[in-house]
């Protein structure tokens, strides 16, 4: 007999390890262990989501005829680690061989490789592109840009295709998806009332992880496949039609806008990514969603999600340690809920603390943009994102942070740093009107938006690196046309801001 390892982000009955096992004789091992709760200080909602979903999935496997050896976090015999639980169950069942679906981070892959059992790691086939597929695509390319990879994924899945051409004769409708939100939001993600299993987990998490950053209650997330599918159906019917138009918008008091809020369910296995995309495609075919919404959503799943997973494994275990711009400033206290006068940053962090969620523009162009402009250590930024978001697993989070957000990989993902002044936030949100800073101040005034000051500070200090970048030439020409005394005022104010921040003052 074999032990069959199922991790907390592998809660799908089509996992490779389960397909390779024999239900009549093999034993499924699932465990809530301290090592997996403590390598970063996870948001309490994330821990609760995974533990509740694990317990329900274990019950589902048992109902389907599997023998499941399940360890709860407070079991007295809990060894505290995945390898420790495998060793304990190996002794219990007189087993020496383990079948495991390859984990989504190098840390766990290494732990299984060094576990003193025979562990066969089979590739996670929930993804459309295998490691070999991605490596073959990447071979010989000067730049690994997502757009070309995405087109191959469209052809491979036949999603929104007309023969060999994209539906509507365009691969990408991104230019239609940059509208600022206006008026009232007329939808919200589906919410679920905690059942007895979830309540037990909430009590456990509250007792054990009450000091972690983030609010545990109210907890309204889906915790099983049936609920996740209801959440998907609700999104497709009620929210998808406006998803495209407003996917980059930010709005005070609106955490979700017209976003799906499904990524956590996909990432832990409650929803199959292709199933999700097919539901969206069908809504477009039925005339219930415009083409820009359907294409924009599908691109995030079979394009970006598949691409960053490919990058993570292609680049190797040292990826999270990269620091191409040599940024070394500590992550500011206000990322953990401390007071800040920057309205956009404060709103994004408050929402993150409450929901364990922020959409991609809040992550990239607010908290990520500020960290990049201010020169924050990218590994600290990486660990923050991994800690605070319920959908964050290293294979997806690290390339988004180290590569896309912080340019710490030196340009593997992005052809230029994603930096912007406050103008972008002003355009795409209603934050600036309520901010203590003046987003319209351009000359280094005392109340100038820090994003404006730090934007030029970033360009100035990295001039040797980026002045020859074809996509950044206009920025440097604009900077060079400014009067010398104006440039001096901007840099002086930026340095004063950074000094105040480093000294722990409210900024």
> How far is Cα 496 from Cα 241, in angstroms, rounded to an integer?
46
SS3 67: strand
Which token pair is 411? 């340009």
Strand partners for 337 = none
Q: pLDDT band at 181, cuts 50/70/90? A: confident
> How far is Cα 245 from Cα 223, in angstroms, rounded to an integer?
29
What fold does the segment set 3-122 form as a domain?
Rossmann fold (3.40.50)
List, for residues 406-459, the tens digit of each pLDDT value: 999 999 999 999 999 999 999 999 999 999 999 999 888 999 999 999 999 999
CATH class of domain segment(s) 131-315? mainly alpha
**Tokens 């023969």 found at:** 163
333-502 belongs to CATH 1.10.579.10: yes
For CATH 1.10.579.10, the residue range(s) in the chain are: 333-502
Asked whether 283 and 240 are in contact (CB, 8 A), the reply is yes
| Percent of residues, the chain, with pLDDT higher than 90 | 97
Whether residue 175 is predicted with pLDDT greater than 90 in this model: the reply is no
Asked whether 187 and 238 are in contact (CB, 8 A), the reply is yes
| DSSP state for residue 443 in the 8-state scheme | S
List, for residues 132-165, the tens digit of each pLDDT value: 999 999 999 999 999 999 999 999 999 999 999 9
**Whether pTM exceeds 0.95:** yes
The per-residue pLDDT for 65 is 97
The per-residue pLDDT for 380 is 98
322 phi and psi angles, rounded to 5 deg: -70, 145
List, for residues 451-494, the tens digit of each pLDDT value: 999 999 999 999 999 999 999 999 999 999 999 999 999 999 99
For CATH 3.40.50.620, the residue range(s) in the chain are: 3-122
The residues, any chain, with a CB within 8 Å of residue 136's CB and separated by 6 or more, are none
Rounded to an integer, the average pLDDT of 112-121 is 97
Phi-psi domain of 121 (left: phi exceeds 0; alpha: psi -120 through 50; beta: other): beta
> How far is Cα 501 from Cα 495, in angstroms, rounded to an integer?
10
The residues, any chain, with a CB within 8 Å of residue 381's CB and separated by 6 or more, are 331, 368, 371, 401, 405, 406
List, for residues 248-272, the tens digit of each pLDDT value: 999 999 999 999 999 999 999 999 9
Asked whether 77 and 36 are in contact (CB, 8 A), the reply is no
Q: In what order do the strands lie in the sheet with 118-122?
A: 67-71, 27-31, 3-5, 97-101, 118-122
């Amino acid at each position: 007999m074999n032990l069959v390892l199922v991790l907390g982000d592998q809660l799908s009955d089509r996992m490779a390890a389960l397909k390779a096992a024999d239900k009549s004789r093999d034993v499924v091992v699932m465990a809530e262990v301290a090592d997996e709760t403590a390598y970063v200080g996870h948001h309490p909602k994330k821990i609760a989501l995974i533990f509740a979903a694990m317990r329900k999935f274990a019950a589902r496997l048992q109902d389907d005829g599997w023998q499941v050896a399940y360890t709860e976090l407070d079991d007295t015999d809990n060894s505290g680690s995945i390898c420790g639980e495998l060793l304990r169950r190996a002794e219990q069942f007189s087993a020496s061989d383990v079948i495991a679906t390859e984990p989504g981070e190098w840390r766990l892959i290494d732990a299984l490789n060094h576990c003193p059992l025979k562990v066969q790691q089979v590739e996670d086939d929930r993804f459309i592109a295998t490691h070999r597929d991605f490596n073959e695509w990447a071979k010989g390319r000067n730049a690994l840009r997502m757009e070309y990879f995405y087109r191959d994924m469209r052809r491979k899945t036949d999603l929104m295709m007309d023969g060999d051409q994209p539906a509507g004769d365009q691969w990408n409708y991104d230019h239609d998806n940059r509208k600022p939100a206006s008026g009232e939001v007329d939808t919200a993600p589906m919410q679920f009332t905690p059942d007895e299993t979830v309540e037990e987990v909430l009590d456990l998490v509250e007792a054990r992880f009450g000091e972690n950053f983030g609010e545990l209650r109210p907890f309204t997330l889906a915790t099983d496949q049936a609920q996740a599918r209801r959440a998907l159906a609700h999104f497709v019917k009620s929210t998808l039609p406006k998803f495209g138009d407003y996917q980059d918008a930010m709005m005070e008091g609106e955490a979700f806008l017209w976003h799906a809020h499904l990524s956590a369910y996909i990432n832990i296995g409650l929803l199959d990514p292709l199933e999700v995309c097919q539901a969206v495609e069908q809504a477009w075919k039925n005339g219930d969603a415009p083409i820009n919404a359907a294409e924009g959503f599908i691109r995030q799943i079979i394009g970006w999600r598949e691409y960053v997973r490919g990058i993570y494994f292609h680049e190797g275990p040292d990826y999270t340690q990269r620091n191409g711009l040599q940024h070394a400033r500590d992550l500011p206290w206000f990322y953990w809920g401390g007071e800040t006068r920057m309205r956009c940053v404060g709103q994004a962090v408050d929402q993150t603390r409450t929901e364990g969620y922020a959409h991609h523009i809040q992550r990239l162009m607010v908290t990520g943009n500020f960290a990049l402009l201010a020169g924050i250590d990218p590994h600290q930024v990486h660990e923050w994102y991994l800690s605070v978001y319920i959908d964050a697993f290293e294979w997806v989070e690290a390339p988004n942070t180290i590569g896309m957000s912080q340019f710490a990989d030196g340009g593997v993902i992005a052809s230029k740093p994603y930096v912007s002044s406050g103008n972008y936030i002003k355009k795409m949100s209603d934050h600036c009107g309520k901010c203590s800073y003046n987003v319209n101040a351009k000359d280094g005034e005392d109340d100038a938006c820090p994003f404006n000051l730090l934007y030029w500070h970033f360009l100035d200090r990295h001039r040797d690196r980026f002045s020859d970048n074809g996509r950044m030439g206009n920025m440097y020409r604009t900077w060079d046309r400014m009067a010398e005394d104006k440039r001096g005022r901007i840099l002086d104010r930026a340095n004063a801001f950074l000094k105040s921040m480093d000294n722990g003052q409210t900024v």
